[in-house]
Amino acid sequence: MTNPATTSSAAPAILHAREPSIVCNNVWKQYYFYTHRPRRLKELATGLFKSPPKKDPVWALQSFNLNVYPGETVGVVGHNGAGKSTLLKLLSRILVPTTGHVEIKGRMSAIIELGAGFHEDLTATENVYLAGSFLGLKKRQIQKLYEEMVDFAELREHMDVPVKYFSSGMHARLGFAIAVAVNPDVLLIDEVLAVGDASFQPKCKDKIREFQKSGKAILFVSHDMPSVKKLCQRVVWLTNGQIKAEGKPVQTVNSYLEHYWPGCTNGSTETDVVEE
Amino acid sequence: MIQSLSELPEYRQVLFNLVARDLKVKYQKSILGFLWTLLYPAVMLGIYVVIFGLILSNDLENFWAYLIAGLLPFQFIMGSVLEGASAIRVNGNLIRKVYFPAEILVIATVTAKLIEFLLQLLVAMIFLIIWHHGALVQFSLVKTLIVLPGAILLLYCFALGMALPFAAWSVIYRDLEHILGLSMTAWFYVTPIFWNMELAKKHLPNTYEWFMLNPAMNLLELFRGPLYWGTYPINHAAPMTGPLQAWALAAFPAVVSITGGYWLFNRSKRVLAEVV
């Protein structure tokens, strides 16, 4: 594939002179499926002092390299189990790479699997404070951002309700509102637009565009191909933990779609999305 | 381990929110609420006073006071280890979605237990001030205030150190929580809580010194000194009794527990977000 610096037309080349905000340097991630159950108590006793039992290794990410520069939005597409969520979890430090180097420069906020680490029994307000503290904010700082978050999520009358009564869309709205309100330098988004309704989706996209303009680095994981084409400057296509293709959004997304569903894009190389 | 330790101060706000959450979620839906914290040990105390004080009578003056001084700290150890051991497993949804040092969950659980314990201790002290004036034994407020801060610190370190490795291990080996439950019950009976060392000396004249090896007994002696005997701590299993020896015998297991426990925890920490 071609050099991203020359292909990503929307990102000015000058930005690339800066240091990348997201760095993945030859990252490998191996999972073990802990499917087996200890059969004997002896196994339990020895297992405690050795490293955990390693069974059925699977490489979720292999020799993965990616740099995302400030102001750039990179989309990640791929089928289920291709390694997209693993990538986001490695970047957000939830998981540790088996080998390789992952680095994020500046404040990072991530929306992984819709929630931002909510406790189901707590109210939305209490969860805002909990989630804010995970992002490194003090109570006073969260108080300042609170109104903005509530307005953005459009959940004012539901803030005293435990989040377990929230719909998945409300979860996603609250999660997205918290993640963007803390003004991160790096934003990792996983499928958040999929559950938002017709009024919330454009709002999210506007926010993402605003972030792009203010020079934030965004990694956008989605199965919503029109959004990927519209929002990203570069797209990475993952299969089985490896980069299959990387380049301009329209071409990469189309070749990804053609690969699984030949003929679906009718060979068009132009964006098939109607601009608003 | 040092690296993990240096990261912890950043997450003070998370710890604070998690402790508040633990206490809130536990009591918000009950009618008696926080009163349960006091009611539970009060009922246990009543049962033990009737069975071990009246039915299996013993010659300890103000037996109820003797019981309180041992029962409350032991229940703190028991609750911390049992609830701490499941802290990571029950918070799997957090560990999988946001990054923060996993030990915070265990520290939060044990700290919430500590707050309950302090409240129980405060109420117990009121009863001791009013009614615990024996001919030979009595409550000493001055000595209590001198001894308790150190004693509580050692007890907290001991309980936290015990809970940490079990919290990591029980994510992988579910049997452990059952084994722990049984072990804690056994531990309760081999620790002098409703019986005393004089009784052990009478029935096991050659082997009673082995009780010195029970770290729980050594820690309880710190509390029983000022709360029950009206003296500085004395270890009744030690051959040469003195406050210094009593402190050393309690400090040793506490230090071993917290350093060893944290070390063991850090060995399994990396995989927690994958396995939980």
Q: Which of B169, B271, B273 is opposite residue A48, by nearest beta carbon?
A: B169
Q: Which residues does B116 contact at the CB level (< 8 Å), separation at least 6?
A: B23, B37, B76, B79
Judged by CB atoms closer than 8 Å, whether chains meet at B175 and A94 is answered as no
Place of tokens 């406050």: B243
Q: Is the pLDDT of residue A150 over 60?
A: yes
Q: Give the residue among A236, A241, A198 at the shortest CA–CA distance from A219.
A: A236
| Rounded Cα gap, residues B242 and B232, in angstroms | 9
Q: Which of B21, B176, B264 is opposite residue A130, by nearest beta carbon?
A: B21
Q: Check residue A1 and give its pLDDT.
A: 40
Least confident of A70-74, A174-178, A190-194: A190-194
Predicted confidence band of residue B135 (pLDDT cuts 50, 70, 90): confident
**What is the nearest CA distance from A45 to chain B, expressed in angstroms?**
10
Q: Which of A41, A47, A52 is opposite residue B271, by nearest beta carbon?
A: A52
Predicted confidence band of residue A10 (pLDDT cuts 50, 70, 90): very low
Q: Please state the separation of Cα A105 from the chain's center in Å.
A: 16
Q: Is the pLDDT of residue A250 over 60?
A: yes
Average pLDDT, chain B: 90
Eight-state DSSP code of residue A258: H
Q: Which of A41, A52, A115 is opposite residue B172, by nearest beta carbon?
A: A52
What secondary structure, in 3-state letters, does chain B show?
CHHHHHHHHHHHHHHHHHHHHHHHHHHCCCCCCCHHHHHHHHHHHHHHHHHHHHHCCCCCCCHHHHHHHHHHHHHHHHHHHHHHHCHHHHCHHHHCCCCCCCHHHHHHHHHHHHHHHHHHHHHHHHHHHHHCECCCCECCHHHHHHHHHHHHHHHHHHHHHHHHHHHHHHHHCCHHHHHHHHHHHHHHHHCCCCCCHHHHHHHCCCCHHHHHHCHHHHHHHHHHHHHHHCCCCCCCCCCCCCHHHHHHHHHHHHHHHHHHHHHHHHHHHCCHHHHC
Q: Check residue A9 and give its pLDDT.
A: 44
Judged by CB atoms closer than 8 Å, whether chains meet at A134 and B98 is answered as yes
What six digits make up the tokens of B91? 């918070």
Eight-state DSSP code of residue A274: P
Q: Please state the separation of Cα A158 from the chain's center in Å.
A: 26
Cα within 13 Å of Cα(B245), Cβ side: 10
Eight-state DSSP code of residue A22: E
Angle between helices B215-224 and B63-85 (to 10 degrees): 130
Place of tokens 């200890």: A38
- Which residues make beta-bridge pairs with A219? A74, A188
**Chain A: residue nearest B90 by CA?**
A119
Predicted confidence band of residue A7 (pLDDT cuts 50, 70, 90): very low
| Rounded Cα gap, residues B71 and B193, in angstroms | 6
Contacts A–B by Cβ distance under 8 A: 79
Predicted confidence band of residue B252 (pLDDT cuts 50, 70, 90): very high
Judged by CB atoms closer than 8 Å, whether chains meet at A133 and B98 is answered as no
Residues B173-202, mean pLDDT to the nearest whole number: 89
**What phi and psi values does residue B173 have, to the nearest 5 degrees?**
-115, 100
Predicted confidence band of residue A17 (pLDDT cuts 50, 70, 90): low
Judged by CB atoms closer than 8 Å, whether chains meet at A48 and B99 is answered as no
Q: Check residue A35 and give its pLDDT.
A: 56
Predicted confidence band of residue B3 (pLDDT cuts 50, 70, 90): confident
What six digits make up the tokens of A72? 């750039």
Amino acid at B34: F
Q: Is the pLDDT of residue A113 over 90?
A: no
B61-110 pLDDT, tens per residue?
Answer: 899 999 999 999 999 999 999 999 999 999 988 888 888 999 999 999 99
Q: Is the pLDDT of residue A276 over 50?
A: no
* DSSP state letters, A37-74: ---SHHHHHHHHHSPPP--SEEEEEEEEEEEE-TT-EE
Q: Check residue A11 and give its pLDDT.
A: 47
Q: Check residue A197 and give its pLDDT.
A: 78
Least confident of A29-38, A100-109, A185-194, B109-118: A29-38
Q: Which residues does B242 contact at the CB level (< 8 Å), separation at least 6?
A: B234
Judged by CB atoms closer than 8 Å, whether chains meet at A47 and B172 is answered as yes
Place of tokens 């206490």: B23
Longest alpha-carbon distance in chain A: 65
Contacts of B105 in chain A (CB under 8 A): none
- H-state helical runs in A98-199: 124-134, 139-153, 168-181
Least confident of A221-230, B52-61, B185-194: B52-61
Contacts of A38 in chain B (CB under 8 A): 173, 175
Place of tokens 């009060």: B42
B270 touches chain A (CB under 8 A): yes
What six digits make up the tokens of A102? 């992952």
Q: Is the pLDDT of residue B127 over 60?
A: yes
* Pair type for strands A57-68 and A22-32: antiparallel
Least confident of A33-47, A225-239, B91-105: A33-47
- The DSSP element (H or E) to which A189 belongs, if any, is strand A186-190
* Pair type for strands A217-221 and A73-77: parallel
